[in-house]
Each structure stands twice: as C-alpha cells, then as structure tokens.
C-alpha cells in the first residue's frame, strides 16, 4: 500500500505572485510530490501550500520550496495580519494513508536537520515532534513573533532544536513537526474585527486566559478584518475535527453573532479537508432538518449551502476534499466497458472474464433495479404513505449496487496469487512445499471474492421485499427481474465457491465457508420466491383495477 504524507508549509508571502508561483513550481518539480492547493491571502500576507507524497518525497518537496523562500522572501520588510516569525513560518507533516504519527515525526526531524544545515537557519520542533511539553504548541514557540525573535533566541530555554541559535534577519525561524489533520476555517461576520475577535475568545479553547476558558476544545482562533472580502472573520484552526467538527464551530459562531446582533455571511475552508469532516456536517444538518439524502454528492452540496462555503470563493469538491484529490482512477477494465464490449469480452476465446464476473454484474443489476423502483416511488405524492419504507430501502440498495460493481473486476483478478504459486519452482521438496502453501493461500483469497458477492447480495433481500410490497405497482416487472437477477447472481457466485473449494485442503476452512455459502444460496432461493409471490398478488390486484 502506498504511503501518503501531507505537508502544509505556510510561507510569509501572500502578495507577490512571482514568489508565490516560484515556490509552487519548486514543489511541482519534485518527483513523487503532488501539489494539491495554493491558498494566498493579501491581508494576512501569507500563502498556505498543500502537497502530498511518500515520506522521502515530501521532505524533498519541502526543502525545494524552502530554498526558493530563502532567496526570495525578506522578513525585514514583511507586515501582515497573521502571526508569524519566519519566511517559512511553519511546516507540518500529517499522516494521510498507511503512515503512522511516529513516521511523520521522523519525517519532520529529517526536514529540520537538512533545512537547518543547508539554509543555515534556526528550526524548532512542535506538536508531536516537540522535545518538551512547553514547546509543543505553535503559539508558545512563536510568542513575540518575528519582531521579538532576536531577544528570544538569547534565552537558553528557546534554543532551536536544529540550526544556529542566532537571529537571521531575512529568514527569522521555522517551526516544523508532525500533527493530526488540522482544518483552517474562517467564518465571515458582517461586523467589526473587535466583534469577530470577541466571538473567537468565547469559543477557542484558551478563551481569555486560564480563568476564562472558551467553550470548544482543540480550537485556536482570533478575529480579524479581511480587506479583500470587506468583512470581518472568526478565523480558527480546528486541531481535531472529531472533537470539534466544522459544523459545530459554524453553529456556535452563529449563536454568538446573534447575541451581538451581527450577521454571519457564510464561511470558507482554507486549503483542503478530509471527506469525513464534510460528511459529519451533512449528517448533522440532515438530522436537524429531517432530510432524506443518501448520495455523497448531494450530502456535500447540502453542507456547502448550509455553511456558505461558496461565500468568498467556489468550493470545488475535487479541489478541496483530500480523498477526491489523491484518489487514483478506478482500476476497472471490465466495469468501465460499455455493455456491448463487456458482453463481447465474455464471449471471447478466453477463460476470463467468465461466469464469476458475469454473476457479479447480474447481481448488481438485481440490486440496481430494486434501487430504481424505490427511487421512482419515493417523493411521489400518491405514494406518500410508503415514504418511510422507501427511505429505508433506497440507501441500502444504492450502496450495495455501488459496492458490487468493482467486484466485476475483482473476480477476474482473484486468481493472481494462485497463478503466481503455480509458476513457482518445484524441483525440491522444500520448493514444492512453499509452492503448495502459496497456491492454497491464493485459492482462499480467490474464494473470498465470490463469497463477498454472496454476502453483499444477501444483504439486499429485506430491502427488495420492502420495495416489492410498497413500490410503485407500475414497476412490478422491474422488481421481478431484479429479484431473479439477484438470485441468479448469488447462485453463480456460489458455483464459483464450490468449484474453487475442490482444490482446498484445509478442512476447517472448507467447513466454515461452505456452511455459510450454502445458507446464503438457500436463503436467496427462498427470498426470491417470497418477492415473486408478493408481486404476483399485487399484480393480480393491479391488473384487475386497470380493467
């Protein structure tokens, strides 16, 4: 599995497009790095870059960006509204996929060591990389900002972790470390910066001091005025969006603003966000307003509208949500074909795709037909009385259909491990034993694909029965075809399990899997018959009423 680390360096330049672009180009030119976002602020005089790569690549990308900043940014002339103490003010590394926090700590230290040696600048470690608790928080390290840095570096307690304990006027200092995913989030206020700051003080964890803590945990924040927007903002960092999610912060700001008789005019996410944080907000508004939304895109759209995420710049999901940005195109050579080409592939003089892939496609068609009829029934005035049943069934059938489609290709590639075992050497007893073990492991892996198809199909029956009972009677034939398709798809997957199990020598595995498979196959026949009986009765009544 590919290791992905996110790096979010913040540079003290938000006005000179030449410098901003040069730093971006340095990241883009680094092999293994993908630049995801560049977010500049004129008033803050700061640009936040977001890029991802493997652990080694992100170190090189951050170094490349820092080299440009060393040549082109002069902190002696810098003025901006955002707290800062260096040209490369802060450079966090965040685990995204298949990477531990400890690995990101090591990445941050590797960057700190190389940057301090090459650029001859002081570098501090913060967050999870900090040497002591008093150096963990960025505001503590950055206290006094650039203007107070020369005096601070004279204090032995604030000796840099890497590099010289000397003031470098053109650069200042840099903080780097490993941390959890941080969401930079601003809520727009049609009021004064003082009012925005007052709201921030009430909400941020530090509050107004130890005696007056704020209400929300893991939140850092302040209020300011952004000239290019013509609005004040409550600007926050959500250090742990699972503790204080974005929608909670937004709703609390609205509450505070109402008490001050000022209006909230939407909000903005700076940089990128995890999909989970957006879907958490969607769940909140869906429950609060009693809505019925099941498609991911619709849920995201709801959040954009309710939180005003388009208020100052377009919120484009493909550019703002990290899972969408880094997602590789689906490896679906079969599922991506046209229906004609897929059938022609099955008919070709090759063993794959064969009955396994066909069975998955047939099962997916079965669940899709059920989903279609439920969606055509839901929201129709004459079927208002069955709305609860449709709202319960639609998400199940919709998601099962989406989950089954990729298995069309998974079935065809399921024998890769087994075939690798077949090709292994077998000249000695030892080689034969290793080969047999690999082949057996490959067979078990291959069997799990049709078993997954059977399990997914089995989960559809209750929802399909509800659609048969309460769905639009004009679509009876669609549900009938769906039920028979689902039964056939499960039966086909079962036959794949049976034929592959013949060569498995592990009796415990055989017993466990075959017991489950037979139960699912038997239940499919029973449930299909049940659906058809329901539909036969409804069809008789429906046709009688039409005469």
Which sign, positive or negative, has the C-alpha torsion 379, 384, 390, 395? positive
CA proximity to 421, closest of 400, 446, 398, 399: 446
Cα–Cα distance for residue pair 239/136, rounded to 1 Å: 13
Q: How does DSSP assign 148-191, residue by residue? A: GHHHHTTSGGG--SBS-SS--TTTB-EEEEE----EEEEEEEES
Of the chain, the end-to-end C-alpha distance in Å amounts to 62
Of the CA atoms within 13 Å of residue 52, those in its CB half-sphere come to 22
Which residues are bridge partners to 238 per DSSP? 183, 219
How far is 544 from 271, CA to CA, in rounded Å?
61
Burial class (CB in 10 A: 0-12, 13-18, 19+), 329: exposed
- Which residue in 411, 456, 458, 478 is the catalytic one? 411
- Mark whether 82 is an active-site residue: yes
- Pairs from 394-398 (Cβ < 8 Å, separation ≥ 24): 394/294, 395/294, 396/459, 396/460, 396/462, 396/463, 397/367, 397/368, 397/370, 397/371, 397/460, 397/463, 397/464, 397/467, 398/294, 398/295, 398/371
Cα distances (angstroms) measured from residue 533 to each of 483, 538, 541: 11, 9, 13
Q: Which two tokens stand for residue 329?
A: 């195109």
Q: Which of 45, 78, 82, 456 is catalytic?
A: 82
Question: Token digits for 411?
Answer: 């079935």
Looking only at Cα atoms, what is the longest distance across the chain? Answer: 96
Q: Three-state SS string across 466-502, please? A: HHHHHCCHHHHHHHHHHHHHHHHHHHHHHHHHHHHHC
With helix as H, strand as E and coil as C, how does 35-53 read? EEEEEEECCCCEEEEEEEE
**Cα separation, 174 vs 290, whole angstroms:** 48
CB of 457 closer than 8 Å to CB of 396: no
State the residue for tokens 């199909």.
Answer: 457
The residues annotated with a catalytic role in the active site are 82, 411
């Amino acid at each position: 599995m590919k290791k992905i680390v996110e790096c979010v360096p913040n540079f003290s330049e938000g006005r000179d497009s030449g410098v901003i672009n040069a730093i971006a180009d340095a990241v883009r030119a680094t092999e293994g790095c993908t630049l995801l976002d560049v977010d500049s602020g004129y008033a803050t005089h700061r640009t936040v870059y977001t890029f991802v790569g493997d652990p080694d690549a992100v170190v090189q990308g951050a170094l490349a960006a820092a080299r440009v900043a060393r040549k082109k940014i002069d902190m002696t002339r810098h003025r901006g509204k955002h707290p800062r103490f260096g040209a490369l003010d802060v450079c966090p590394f965040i685990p995204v996929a298949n990477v531990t926090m400890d690995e990101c700590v090591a990445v941050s230290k590797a960057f700190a060591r190389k940057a301090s040696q090459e650029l001859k600048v002081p570098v501090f470690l913060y967050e999870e990389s900090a040497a002591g608790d008093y150096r963990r928080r960025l505001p503590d390290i950055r206290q006094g900002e650039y203007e107070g840095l020369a005096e601070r570096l004279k204090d032995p307690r604030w000796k840099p972790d890497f590099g010289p304990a000397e003031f470098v006027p053109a650069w200042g200092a840099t903080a780097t470390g490993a941390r959890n995913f941080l969401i930079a989030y601003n809520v727009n206020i049609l009021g004064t910066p003082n009012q925005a700051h007052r709201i921030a003080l009430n909400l941020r964890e530090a509050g107004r001091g130890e005696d007056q803590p704020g209400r929300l945990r893991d939140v850092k924040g302040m209020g300011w005025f952004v000239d290019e927007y013509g609005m004040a903002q409550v600007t926050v960092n959500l250090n742990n969006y699972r503790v204080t999610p974005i929608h909670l912060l937004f709703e609390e700001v609205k509450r505070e603003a109402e008490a001050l008789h000022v209006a909230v005019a939407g909000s903005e996410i700076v940089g990128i966000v995890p999909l989970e944080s957006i879907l958490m907000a969607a769940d909140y508004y869906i429950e609060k307003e009693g809505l019925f939304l099941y498609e991911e895109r619709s849920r995201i759209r709801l959040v954009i509208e309710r939180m005003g995420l388009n208020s100052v710049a377009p919120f484009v999901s493909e550019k703002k949500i990290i899972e969408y940005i880094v997602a590789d195109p689906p490896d679906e050579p079969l599922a991506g074909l046209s229906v004609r080409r897929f059938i022609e592939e099955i008919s070709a003089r090759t063993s794959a795709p064969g009955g396994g892939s066909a069975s998955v496609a047939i099962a997916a068609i079965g669940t899709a037909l059920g989903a279609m009829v439920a969606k055509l029934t839901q929201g129709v005035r004459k079927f208002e009385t069955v709305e609860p049943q449709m709202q319960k069934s639609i998400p199940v059938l919709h998601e099962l259909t989406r989950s089954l489609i990729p298995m069309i290709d998974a079935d065809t590639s399921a024998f890769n491990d087994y075939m690798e075992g077949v090709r292994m050497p077998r000249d000695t007893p030892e080689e034969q034993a290793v080969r047999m073990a690999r082949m057996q492991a490959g067979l078990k892996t291959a069997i799990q694909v049709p078993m997954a198809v059977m399990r997914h199909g089995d989960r559809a029956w209750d929802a399909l029965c509800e659609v048969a009972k309460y769905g639009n009677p004009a679509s009876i034939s669609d549900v009938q075809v769906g039920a028979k398709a689902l039964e056939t798809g499960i039966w086909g997957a079962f036959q794949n399990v049976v034929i592959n199990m013949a060569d498995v020598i592990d009796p415990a595995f055989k017993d466990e899997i075959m017991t489950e498979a037979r139960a699912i196959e038997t239940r499919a026949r029973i449930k299909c018959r049940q659906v058809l009986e329901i539909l036969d009765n409804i069809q008789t009544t429906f046709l009688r009423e039409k005469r």
